[in-house]
Chain A
């Protein structure tokens, strides 16, 4: 419920500050203490601002994408046991702890229907965020163009800019929902001609995110084929952010673009332990792809953080083995979590509708977007120069307080009463 659309079909503004970075200098201070050019203009970050507001304990935080529910018990138990093992407190293999890359290779071989070399085709990173960074640093050069689909997870743009490349944007556009049907994330689509027009000889990569943050769109096979065809035609890379790959709701299926013909050799697929096992604070992610691409991400790794934390990787490996063995079982977390979240999704959709917020029902992911224009809130005392949705969220955060879905329900019911 974090990002809201403005009136009509206005698209989310990219969260990017074009403010040029300056700092005040005293006589002693140095012109030389200026930032490197690669980070010029990348200093502002929307999360810093909003998490500060949400830190007020009386505020219901439905904003940031982190669960406040418990991770599965066996995940916690594994980490507890591992904490006692001496050797797991020391460095492990830089590109990924052996038992973890083995587990990942075993899991994903099932999904890719192909062998995946744990040492050459997998890199373990600091969260999926770290994989995005490594992939972009490894493969994107100054002067390259990178296609980003709007709306987008906010880090894609600054990471592309930090690599000296130019982001080229293309929006998902929504058709109006058919009368009587709920607005769905699947109503948001790419225009194939418009998409094709964004590709040229300078296009190094396209960043794909499915299931999508913030919309919750789960790209269909046909939609992915359009993207794949263009990648092959223009000899472009695909960086596919699939952190919510297990969070797909009834009637939808997650497809991996890397499994499409001609795509394995040009795709880096990114996953996240945080989103898979509801342990965002473990910050373990991974990149999977062909060695001729992964080796460059490995070069970045050995020159950035060298290795990720050992005990967490071992715990994650053991948790994976539990679920890999029962993938057809409803008890498998990969199956049980989406069922659990679908119920919460449906509940939230109803709540939002009940107060006149028009939700876009997501087919996957952690988030729901709601159109707030109908609420016509009085935002006159919020800062002038910000987009409507920023102001609305800040107004909502300051004025409507409490904690979790139950409490959110209380608040929303109270709004209802206020309105009538």
Chain B
């Protein structure tokens, strides 16, 4: 064919940074602490729920309701209705999607028009920018600034903050939406109530929709509280709250997500949904519904998965923090999420000339070197930044600690070997 094949909407979004790292990981003998998924099983009750979903009622093999399998939309409405302090109708305020990824896509397509501006807080999960672009929107970036820390102390995600004046300056009459992610990927920052109030007041002042990605909402540590911005005064009517069964129940492969919001905004997402994939797979939704029913029974109790899981992950986090320091990596303590980032400035000073392509940021070269030479996979944090900031934030790499004990032990072995190889 001689015509230009691909549509314009794909301009600038063809490249995907993960492809490279996933490939490299499969080619070497590595401990994979890169991509964000557990390498342990979902909890028993979730496995049981899925077993039930695939061996029970035959009709679960067929289409369900387009906007969500009814028992799932009902439990989501009741469960999150309580959490958000909002009366929620399963037909009007809930949409089930193919993962939180699908929810994000549906939201952007429903609301973002050519020329609309979307504020994205960096470092940001890497899909927000291309999804904005694919919808013809214009991403406007504002970054979390780390404050200086004392020598010898470890940095913390709570130390990375938005400058209120700078944030305010990003809003223009063309701003359609702001994307919030708390707990944040890759940093692990859990936005405080005060920080959310700042974002909320600006959204209200400038009449902007807030798209809030809260997939890690249960993974908060050290007694921090996850606050949903939709629960703040004046925010329910302008917020889309996105969640993930994959991250909630450690079953990322089920690809069940949802959006919660007011009917007058959600109806536009329903229009996109019915013209894109129409139905989500039934059985995964049934399994998620049963899993939520179980958690609703145990909510707030010690045996709740939403209590036990973050406790266990806090231990894994702490284990990783201790271990990484032994080779001179400087972790930033995350308040939440699956991830922590580590400062690799010392390595940048000692080994500034690692192989890579022209313009490749240091952290990317470092990760490739580490995969090939030290058998550990991490993800360069520069991929979570827009192009202009990549050189500035090229001295951090992201590790996922939501891994089995055996994986963390294997990590320790690799690190011990690395430590032994370090020049004095």
Contact = CB atoms under 8 A, between A and B. Distances in A.
A303 B130 contact: yes
A87 B251 CA distance: 9
Interface string A155-175: 100110011000000000000
Name, among A87, A292, A299, the residue most crowded by chain B CB atoms within 10 Å (CB to CB): A299
A274 B10 CA distance: 29
Interface stretch (A35-43, A239-247, A249-257, A385-393): A35-43
Interface stretch (B60-68, B321-329, B391-399): B60-68
Interface string A84-99: 1011111110000000
Contacts of A38: 109, 113, 135
A282 B38 CA distance: 24
Contacts of B60: 281
Given A30-B207, A129-B277, A266-B1, A308 B255 contact: yes
Interface in B1-51: 1-3, 5-10, 13-14, 16, 35, 37-42, 47, 50-51
Name, among B2, B9, B111, the residue most crowded by chain A CB atoms within 10 Å (CB to CB): B9
Given A83-B47, A89-B42, A303 B252 contact: no
Contacts of A86: 40-42
Contacts of B251: 89-90
Given A235-B1, A282-B281, A29 B264 contact: yes
Contacts, number: 232
A87 B37 CA distance: 10
B54 A127 contact: no
A139 B9 CA distance: 9
Given A39-B272, A127-B279, A281-B63, A305 B209 contact: no
B5 A48 contact: no
B246 to A, nearest CB: 8
Contacts of B40: 86
Interface string A1-38: 00000000000000000000101000011111101111
Given A86-B41, A127-B277, A33 B209 contact: yes
Given A235-B1, A306-B99, A308-B98, A37 B113 contact: yes
Contacts of A43: 267-268, 270-271
Nearest to B279: A283
Interface in B130-170: 130-131, 134-135
Name, among A33, A281, A292, the residue most crowded by chain B CB atoms within 10 Å (CB to CB): A281
A300 B63 CA distance: 24
Contact of A280 (B53, B63, B131, B246): B63
A33 B238 contact: yes
Interface string A403-414: 000000000000
Contact of B207 (A32, A130, A163, A279): A32
B13 to A, nearest CB: 6
Interface string B101-132: 11001000111111010000000000100110
Contacts of B357: none
Contacts of B37: 90-91
A356 interface: no
Contact of B277 (A133, A235, A282, A296): A133
Interface in A261-313: 265-266, 274, 278-284, 292-293, 296, 299-300, 302-312
Given A90-B37, A303-B130, A48 B66 contact: yes
Contacts of B111: 33, 35-36
A312 B281 contact: yes
Interface in B320-353: none
A177 B371 CA distance: 70
Interface stretch (A67-75, A335-343, A364-372): A67-75
Name, among B110, B250, B281, the residue most crowded by chain A CB atoms within 10 Å (CB to CB): B281
B253 A311 contact: yes
B6 A138 contact: yes
Contacts of A21: 271
B314 interface: no
A66 interface: yes
B280 interface: yes
A126 interface: yes
Contacts of A292: 1, 5
A279 B61 contact: yes
A137 B9 contact: yes
Interface in B59-89: 59-66
A281 B51 contact: no
A283 B277 contact: yes
A189 interface: no
Given A133-B277, A158-B275, A303-B134, A33 B265 contact: yes
Contacts of B42: 86, 89
B284 interface: yes
B237 interface: yes
A310 B283 CA distance: 12
A33 B207 CA distance: 9
Nearest to B268: A35
Contacts of A204: 3
Contacts of B2: 235
A91 B8 CA distance: 29
B149 to A, nearest CB: 34
Interface string A194-210: 00000000001000000
B191 interface: no
A136 B250 CA distance: 33
A84 B274 contact: no
Contacts of A84: 47, 51
A354 B274 CA distance: 37
15 contacts: A32-B209, A35-B111, A39-B268, A43-B271, A64-B63, A76-B61, A83-B55, A89-B41, A90-B39, A137-B9, A155-B278, A281-B64, A283-B281, A305-B105, A305-B277
Given A83-B51, A88-B253, 20 more contacts: A21-B271, A30-B238, A32-B209, A33-B264, A68-B59, A76-B58, A84-B51, A89-B252, A91-B35, A133-B276, A141-B9, A162-B272, A235-B3, A280-B63, A283-B277, A303-B134, A304-B102, A305-B99, A306-B101, A309-B281
Interface of B: 1-3, 5-10, 13-14, 16, 35, 37-42, 47, 50-51, 53-55, 58-66, 98-99, 101-102, 105, 109-114, 116, 127, 130-131, 134-135, 176, 207-209, 237-238, 246, 250-255, 264-265, 267-268, 270-272, 274-284
